[in-house]
C-alpha cells in the first residue's frame, strides 16, 4: 500500500519552511483564493447591474469560500476528465453553490483566477518575509552595538590587514540587508492585479456582458481590484499579466540571496579561525565520526539554499523573454515551481539567519591572540613616527625596523614560532628612546580608526530610520529551526 513516504516531497516545505509560508502556496489556499476571486467578480458584476446574479448566489458563494478536502479530491477527479484545472473547480464550486452555478466565472478567462491569485500570493509572501528581514537587521544591529569597540584583525584577500572592530564588520552585513529591505518593500508595493481583462486582454467578453457600456467595463476592473484590497490594476495585459512582473518580484530575492551567502560565508570563515561561531545546541552532534567538531551547519545551509534562490531568478528572466504575443503556455509549469520555491527558500534563509543572529558566540581571547600575532608588523609605522619625534632619522629607523621585521617573519613562517618583533625592539638599544611607549603604541584600540563611532552613527541613524515603519513588528522571540 502506497503512503506519503513512497513519494518525493520537496524539502523546502516538508523539512525547512515555516507553516505560514507553506500555507500561502498550498492547494487549499490556491483554490480558496480562486473562489474568493469568483465571488468578488460576481459582486462587482451585480453592483454594475447584471440582474442574472442573485443575492442568494452571492450568499452561497460567500458561505463556501474555503474549499474542503473532499472538494479538492472531487475537482482532481473532474480535471482528469476535462483536462482543465480551472473548469474542474468551476464545476465543483457550482455543485456546492447551485444558486451560483450558472454565473460563476461569468465573462472571465482562466487567467482571471490563476494570474490574479498568483499576484495575491506574491504580495502575501512578501508580507511574511519583510518582518523577518526587519528582525534579522534588528538583532544584528544589537550585536554590532555590543561589539562596536572590540578590535579584530581585518582581512583583505583573506590576508591580515588593518584592524577593525567586530561590530563594524557586522555593519557591513547590515547595510546590505537594509538595501534588501528597501528592495523587498518596493517590490511588494509595486504588485498590482491583472484585474478583469478577458481572454486576450481586450475585455471583449465583459463589453458584451454590459451591452457595449465601456464605463461599466472600466468600473468592473476597478471594483474587482478594490474588493480584493489592491490599489494597482495593470492598465493593459494580454491573456496573462506581463511575466516581467515576475522578474521584478524575484530580483530582490536573488539579491538578498547574495547578501545571505556573503554573511554566512564570513561566519563560516570566522568559525574556522575560532573567533566567532553560530549557535551550537547542547545536544547537537557536529560529526558522526569526529565528536569534537562544531560544524557551522546553519551557515552552510544558508549558503546552499542561497545559491538555489539566486538561480531561480533566471527562470523569470527566460520565461518573460519567450512569451509570444498575448501569451503561451510554456510559462505555466516553470512558474508553479520557481515562484513558490523562491519565497519558500527566502523564508527558510531568513528563519535561519534569525536563529544565527540571535546566538552568535564570540571568543575575545582568541581574537586578542590573533591580533597580537599580527599587530607588531602593523605598528611599525607608529614606531617609526615615535622614534622620529625623539630625534632619530626616519631612514635609519626604517632600515632598523625592516631588518628586525624580516627576522621576526622568518621565526613565524620558517620556524612556526610566535611573532617576536616587539621583543627584538626591546632588546635593541637603538630603540631605547621609545621602550616606555611600546605598550601604548601597541594598544589595539588605537588601530581601529573611527570604527566604533561609525557603528554608533550607522545604527542610530540609518538603521533606526529604516526600521521605524516596522517598529510594531520587531520582537525578541527566539527562533527554532525545523531541522
pLDDT tens-digit profile of 97-135?
Answer: 999 999 999 999 999 999 999 999 999 999 999 999 999
In this predicted structure, the answer to whether residue 379 has a pLDDT above a threshold of 90 is no
**CATH 1.10.40 segments of the chain:** 380-441
Reply yes or no on whether the pLDDT at 286 is more than 80.
no
Per DSSP, the three-state class of 252 is helix
pLDDT band of 288, cuts 50, 70, 90: very low
Model pLDDT for residues 26-40, shown as the tens digit of each residue: 999 999 999 999 999
Strands (E), 132-191: 151-156, 159-165
**pLDDT at 281 exceeding the cut of 80:** no
What is the SS3 string spanning 438-460?
HHHHCCHHHHCCCHHHHHHHHHH
pLDDT at 280 over 80: no
Is-contact 124 154, C-beta < 8 A?
Answer: no
On whether the CB atoms of residues 33 and 117 are closer than 8 A, the answer is: yes
Instruction: State the average pLDDT over residues 9-14.
Output: 87
Task: Give the per-residue pLDDT at 1.
Answer: 56
CA distance 415 to 80: 76
C-alpha cell at 303: 549558503
- What is the CB neighbour count within 10 angstroms for residue 149? 16
CA distance 94 to 83: 18
**What secondary structure does DSSP assign to 200-243, as a single string?**
SSS-HHHHHHTTT-HHHHHHHHHHHHHHTT-S-B-S--SSS--T
Which grid coordinates belong to 455? 557603528
Q: Which fold has domain 111-149+167-283+290-363+463-473?
A: Fumarase C; Chain A, domain 2 (1.20.200)
The helices-and-strands tally (H runs, E runs) of the chain is: 20, 4
Give, in degrees to the nearest 5, the angle at Cα 318 between 236 and 110.
Answer: 45
pLDDT of res. 439: 86
pLDDT recorded at residue 17? 87
Q: What is the pLDDT of residue 287?
A: 47
**Where along the chain do the CATH 1.10.275.10 domains lie?**
23-106
CA distance 157 to 142: 28
Q: Which residues are catalytic?
A: 157, 287
- 291: pLDDT strictly greater than 60: no
Mean pLDDT, the chain, integer: 93
Quote the pTM value: 0.92
Going by pLDDT thresholds of 50, 70 and 90, the confidence category of residue 289 is: very low
**How would CATH label the architecture of 380-441?**
Orthogonal Bundle (1.10)
Q: Of 1.10.275.10, 3.30.70.1150, 3.50.50.60, 3.30.450.20, which CATH number belongs to 23-106?
A: 1.10.275.10
User: 399-450: per-residue pLDDT in tens?
Assistant: 999 999 899 889 888 998 888 888 899 999 999 999 988 888 889 999 999 9
pLDDT, mean of residues 223-247: 97
Looking at residues 212-229, what average pLDDT do you find? Answer: 98
| Ranges for all domains in the chain classified under CATH 1.20.200.10 | 111-149+167-283+290-363+463-473
Amino acid at each position: 500500500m502506497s503512503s506519503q513516504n513512497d513519494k518525493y516531497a520537496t524539502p523546502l516545505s516538508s523539512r525547512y519552511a515555516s507553516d505560514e509560508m507553506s500555507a500561502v502556496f498550498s492547494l487549499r489556499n490556491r483554490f480558496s483564493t480562486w473562489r474568493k476571486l469568483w465571488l468578488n467578480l460576481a459582486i462587482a458584476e451585480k453592483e454594475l447591474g447584471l440582474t442574472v446574479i442573485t443575492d442568494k448566489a452571492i450568499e452561497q458563494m460567500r458561505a463556501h469560500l474555503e474549499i474542503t478536502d473532499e472538494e479538492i479530491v472531487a475537482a482532481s477527479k473532474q480535471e482528469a476528465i476535462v483536462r482543465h484545472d480551472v473548469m474542474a473547480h468551476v464545476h465543483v464550486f457550482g455543485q456546492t453553490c447551485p444558486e451560483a452555478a450558472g454565473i460563476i466565472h461569468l465573462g472571465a478567462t482562466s487567467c482571471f483566477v490563476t494570474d490574479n491569485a498568483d499576484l495575491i500570493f506574491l504580495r502575501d509572501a512578501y508580507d511574511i518575509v519583510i518582518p523577518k528581514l526587519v528582525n534579522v537587521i534588528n538583532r544584528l544591529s544589537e550585536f554590532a552595538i555590543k561589539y562596536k569597540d572590540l578590535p579584530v584583525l581585518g582581512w583583505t584577500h583573506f590576508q591580515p590587514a588593518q584592524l577593525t572592530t567586530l561590530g563594524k564588520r557586522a555593519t557591513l552585513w547590515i547595510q546590505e540587508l537594509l538595501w534588501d529591505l528597501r528592495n523587498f518593500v518596493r517590490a511588494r508595493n509595486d504588485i498590482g492585479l491583472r484585474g478583469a481583462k478577458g481572454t486576450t486582454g481586450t475585455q471583449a467578453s465583459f463589453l458584451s456582458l454590459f451591452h457595449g457600456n465601456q464605463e461599466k467595463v472600466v468600473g468592473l476592473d476597478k471594483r474587482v481590484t478594490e474588493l480584493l484590497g489592491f490599489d494597482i490594476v495593470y492598465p493593459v495585459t494580454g491573456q496573462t499579466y506581463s511575466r516581467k512582473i515576475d522578474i521584478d518580484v524575484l530580483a530582490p530575492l536573488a539579491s538578498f540571496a547574495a547578501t545571505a551567502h556573503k554573511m554566512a560565508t564570513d561566519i563560516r570563515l570566522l568559525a574556522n579561525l575560532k573567533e566567532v561561531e553560530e549557535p551550537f545546541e547542547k545536544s547537537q552532534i557536529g560529526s558522526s565520526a569526529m565528536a569534537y567538531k562544531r560544524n557551522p551547519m546553519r551557515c552552510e545551509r544558508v549558503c546552499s539554499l542561497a545559491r538555489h534562490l539566486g538561480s531561480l531568478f533566471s527562470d523569470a528572466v527566460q520565461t518573460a523573454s519567450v512569451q509570444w504575443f498575448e501569451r503561451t503556455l510554456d510559462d505555466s509549469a516553470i512558474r508553479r515551481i520557481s515562484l513558490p520555491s523562491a519565497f519558500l527558500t527566502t523564508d527558510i534563509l531568513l528563519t535561519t539567519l534569525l536563529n544565527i543572529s540571535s546566538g552568535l558566540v564570540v571568543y575575545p581571547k582568541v581574537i586578542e591572540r590573533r591580533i597580537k600575532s599580527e599587530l607588531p608588523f602593523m605598528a611599525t609605522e607608529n614606531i617609526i613616527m615615535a622614534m622620529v619625534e625623539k630625534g632619530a632619522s626616519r631612514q635609519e629607523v626604517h632600515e632598523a625596523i625592516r631588518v628586525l621585521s624580516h627576522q621576526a617573519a622568518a621565526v613565524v613562517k620558517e620556524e612556526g614560532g610566535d611573532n617576536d618583533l616587539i621583543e627584538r625592539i626591546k632588546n635593541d638599544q637603538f630603540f631605547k628612546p621609545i621602550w616606555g611607549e611600546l605598550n601604548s603604541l601597541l594598544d589595539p584600540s588605537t588601530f581601529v580608526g573611527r570604527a566604533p563611532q561609525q557603528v554608533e552613527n550607522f545604527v542610530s541613524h540609518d538603521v533606526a530610520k529604516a526600521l521605524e515603519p516596522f517598529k510594531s513588528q520587531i520582537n525578541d522571540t527566539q527562533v527554532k529551526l525545523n531541522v
